C-alpha cells in the first residue's frame, strides 16, 4: 500500500570507498541467482560505481562475542558478513513463477529450500534433517541502488545474531551471498500487519458489545504482544545498541511457537520478532561521528508509523535527521495502537495528504483513533491507553524510555 511505503530521507553520494559495501566476493559461490533479475533502478550505467548508499552502520559485539565495537574500526578488525555456504533452490508455484513471501521498497523476498552443500565440508551443521531441505526466505535487491543497503543489512544481521537473546527478538539470519547481494533467513511467513488485518476482519464480522472495548485480537493477546515487543525494543536499544529505523507492523514477523510451549505463551500465541534492518544504525556516540565523517546517510520511514519530529519539512530535507530511541518508542507505540484498533492506516477515512498531516500531529494519535470506527477499543485509562500514551508525547525527550516501558507494561494486570 502506497501509504506504507517508506520514504527515502536522504541519500548522499560519495567518491571514497564505503566501508560497509566493500565486501570481497566469495571464492566459493553457493546459492543461485535470484529468480528475477533485479535491475529496476539500473538505468544509468554509472550509478552503481559512483553512488554509494548505505544504511547507517551499527555497533555490535565483536567476533569473539565480547564488547560492542565500532564498525569503523574495520582497519583493525576487518569485518565481513557471515557467508552463506549451503545450497539454495528457489521454489516455484504451479505456473512456474517464483514464490514470493513479500517485497518492499528495496527488495523482494523469495521462498527457497536450503540444503547442506556437498562442496563445503567445513560448513556449519544444518539445523534440520539432512535429507529434507529447510525452508528459508531469501531477500534480494529489487533495484541496483539496493545492493549497498542489503550489504549493510547483512553485516548488521551478522553482528546482531551473535548477541545473547537474538533468537528471541530478531529474525534468524543464515548468511549472505555477496554475488547476488542476497540475505538468507529463516522463513517466517506471517507478519504482524497480516495478523492485524485478519483479526480486524474477524472482529468486523463478529461485532459484539462484549468485545467492542477490547483490542481486535483480544486483550490478553494484545497485552502479551505488547510485553514481547517492548521487551524486544529494550533489547535492541540496550543489549544490541541498535536503532531499527523503520518499526511498523510490516517489519515485525510472527514466529510460531512449538506446541509444547503453549503454557508459556503469555496471551499471545506467537513470538514477535523484528525484521528488515535495512534502515538500522548504531546508537553509540563514537560511530555517530564516524558516520558523519563518512558522509553516508540513508534511512527509510513510513509516515503513519514515523514519529512526528521526523516528518516535518525541515527533518525530511535534512541529512542529519534520523530515527532515535525516542522515535522508535513512538513507532512501536503506534504499532501497538494499530494492533488494538485493527486499523493499519491509523487515521481511518483520511486521504493520503490528510494522513500525512495527521501523522505530523502524531502525539494526538489516540484522539484521532478514538474518533474513528474502532475508537471504542481504546477506552479511557484502559490498558491500551496506559501503554501507548507515555510513548507518543510530542517532546521526544519526555517519552517513556524502553526500560521504564518494560516495567510499565509488565505492571499491568
Ligand X SMILES: Nc1ncnc2c1ncn2[C@@H]1O[C@H](COP(=O)(O)OP(=O)(O)OP(=O)(O)O)[C@@H](O)[C@H]1O
User: Which residues of this chain interact with Mg ion, rule CB under 5 A?
Assistant: 104, 251, 276
- Cell 513463477 -> residue: 97
When computed from its CA atoms, the radius of gyration of the chain, rounded to whole angstroms, is: 21
Nearer to ligand X, 157 or 384 (CB): 157
From 78-86, 184-192, 237-245, 320-328, give the range in contact with ligand X by CB under 6 A: 184-192
Contact call for residue 35 and ligand X (CB under 6 A): no
Proportion of the chain in helix, strand, coil states, percent, rounded to 5: 40, 15, 45
Query: With CB under 6 A as the contact rule, which of the stretches 56-64, 123-131, 185-193, 362-370 interacts with ligand X?
Result: 185-193
Within residues 238-257, the interface with ligand X by CB under 6 A covers 246, 250-251, 253
Residue 291 near residue 368, CB atoms below 8 Å: no
Decide whether 246 or 309 has the Cβ nearer to ligand X. Answer: 246
Whether the CB-CB separation of 86 and 123 falls below 8 Å is answered with yes
Q: Which of 52, 55, 234, 278 binds ligand X (CB under 6 A)?
A: 278
Residue closer to ligand X (CB basis): 297 or 374? 297
- Parallel, antiparallel, or unpaired for β 7-8 and 300-301? antiparallel
The answer to whether residue 301 forms part of the interface with ligand X (CB under 6 A) is no
Least Å distance between CB 269 and Mg ion?
Answer: 23
Stretch that binds ligand X, among 44-52, 154-162, 180-188, 353-361 (CB under 6 A): 180-188
Query: What CA–CA distance (Å, rounded) separates 312 from 63?
Result: 40
Note whether 54 binds ligand X by CB under 6 A. Answer: no
DSSP 163: S
Q: Which long-range contacts (CB under 8 A, 24 or more apart) does 126-129 make?
A: 126/86
Distance of closest approach, residue 191 Cβ to ligand X, in angstroms: 5
Nearest Cα to Cα of residue 200 among 154, 249, 130: 249
- Judged by beta carbon distances under 5 to 8 A according to partner kind, the member of ligand X, Mg ion, none in contact with residue 368 is none
Closest CB 272 distance from ligand X, rounded Å:
13
Closer residue to Mg ion in complex, CB, 55/85: 55
Contact 22, 61 (CB under 8 A): no
In what helix (H) or strand (E) does residue 409 lie, and over which residues does it extend?
A: helix 402-411
Q: How many chain residues bind ligand X (CB under 6 A)? A: 26
- 157 interacts with ligand X by CB under 6 A: no
Which listed residue (137, 155, 306, 346) binds ligand X by CB under 6 A?
Answer: 137
For residues 237 and 300, what is the distance between their CA atoms, to the nearest angstrom?
Answer: 18
The x, y and z cell numbers of residue 289, run together, are 561521528
DSSP structure string for 28-42: S--S---SS---TT-
Q: Note whether 79 binds ligand X by CB under 6 A.
A: no
- Do the Cβ atoms of 277 and 81 come closer than 8 Å? no
Pick the closest to residue 297 from 49, 18, 5 (CA basis): 18
SS3 67: coil
- Please identify, using beta-carbon distances, which residue of 116 and 323 lies nearer to Mg ion: 323
From 163, 300, 339, 366, residue interacting with ligand X (rule: CB under 6 A)? 300
- Using the rule CB under 6 A, which residue among 55, 191, 297, 374 binds ligand X? 191
**Number of neighbours of residue 195 by Cβ within 10 angstroms:** 23
Choice from 61, 79, 187, 337 touching ligand X (CB under 6 A): 187
Q: State which residue, 104 or 342, has the beta carbon closest to Mg ion.
A: 104
Report the site for ligand X in 88-127 (rule: CB under 6 A): 101-107, 109
Q: Return the closest-CA partner of residue 319 out of 294, 350, 352.
A: 294
Residue nearest to ligand X (CB): 104
Which residues of the shown chain bind ligand X in the complex (CB under 6 A)? 6, 101-107, 109, 137, 139, 171, 185-189, 191, 246, 250-251, 253, 275-276, 278, 300
Amino acid at each position: 500500500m502506497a501509504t506504507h511505503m517508506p520514504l527515502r530521507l536522504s541519500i548522499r553520494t560519495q567518491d571514497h570507498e564505503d566501508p560497509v559495501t566493500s565486501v570481497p566476493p566469495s571464492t566459493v559461490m553457493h546459492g543461485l541467482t535470484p529468480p528475477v533479475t533485479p535491475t529496476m533502478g539500473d538505468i544509468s550505467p554509472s550509478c552503481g560505481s559512483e553512488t554509494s548508499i548505505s544504511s547507517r552502520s551499527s555497533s555490535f559485539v565483536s567476533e569473539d562475542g565480547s564488547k560492542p565495537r565500532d564498525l569503523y574500526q574495520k582497519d583493525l578488525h576487518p569485518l565481513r558478513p557471515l557467508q552463506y555456504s549451503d545450497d539454495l533452490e528457489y521454489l516455484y508455484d504451479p505456473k512456474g513463477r517464483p514464490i514470493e513471501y513479500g517485497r518492499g521498497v528495496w527488495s523482494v523476498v523469495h521462498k527457497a529450500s536450503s540444503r547442506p552443500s556437498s562442496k563445503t565440508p567445513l560448513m556449519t551443521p544444518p539445523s534440520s534433517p539432512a535429507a529434507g531441505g529447510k525452508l528459508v526466505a531469501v531477500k534480494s535487491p529489487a533495484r541496483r541502488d539496493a545492493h549497498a543497503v542489503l550489504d549493510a543489512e547483512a553485516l548488521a544481521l551478522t553482528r546482531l545474531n551473535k548477541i545473547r537473546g537474538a533468537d528471541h527478538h530478531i529474525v534468524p539470519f543464515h548468511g549472505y551471498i555477496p554475488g547476488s547481494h542476497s540475505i538468507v533467513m529463516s522463513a517466517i511467513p506471517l507478519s504482524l500487519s497480516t495478523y492485524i488485518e485478519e483479526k480486524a476482519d474477524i472482529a468486523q464480522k463478529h461485532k459484539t458489545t462484549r468485545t467492542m472495548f477490547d483490542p481486535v485480537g483480544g486483550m490478553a493477546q494484545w497485552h502479551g504482544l505488547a510485553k514481547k515487543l517492548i521487551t524486544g525494543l529494550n533489547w535492541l536499544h540496550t543489549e544490541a545498541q541498535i536503532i531499527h529505523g523503520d518499526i511498523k507492523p510490516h517489519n515485525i514477523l510472527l514466529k510460531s511457537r512449538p506446541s509444547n510451549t503453549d503454557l508459556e505463551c503469555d496471551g499471545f500465541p506467537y513470538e514477535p520478532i523484528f525484521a528488515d534492518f535495512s534502515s538500522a544504525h548504531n546508537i553509540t556516540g563514537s560511530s555517530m561521528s564516524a558516520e558523519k565523517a563518512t558522509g553516508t546517510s540513508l534511512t527509510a520511514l513510513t509516515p503513519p508509523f514515523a514519529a512526528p519530529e521526523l516528518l516535518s519539512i525541515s527533518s525530511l530535507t535534512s541529512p542529519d535527521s534520523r530515527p532515535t530511541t525516542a522515535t522508535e518508542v513512538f513507532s512501536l507505540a503506534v504499532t501497538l495502537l494499530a494492533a488494538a484498533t485493527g486499523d493499519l492506516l491509523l487515521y481511518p477515512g483520511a486521504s493520503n495528504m490528510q494522513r500525512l498531516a495527521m501523522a505530523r500531529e502524531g502525539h494526538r494519535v489516540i484522539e484521532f483513533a478514538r474518533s474513528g470506527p474502532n475508537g471504542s477499543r481504546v477506552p479511557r485509562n484502559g490498558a491500551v491507553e496506559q501503554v501507548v500514551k507515555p510513548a507518543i508525547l510530542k517532546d521526544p525527550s519526555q517519552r517513556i524510555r524502553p526500560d521504564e516501558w518494560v516495567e510499565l507494561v509488565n505492571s499491568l494486570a
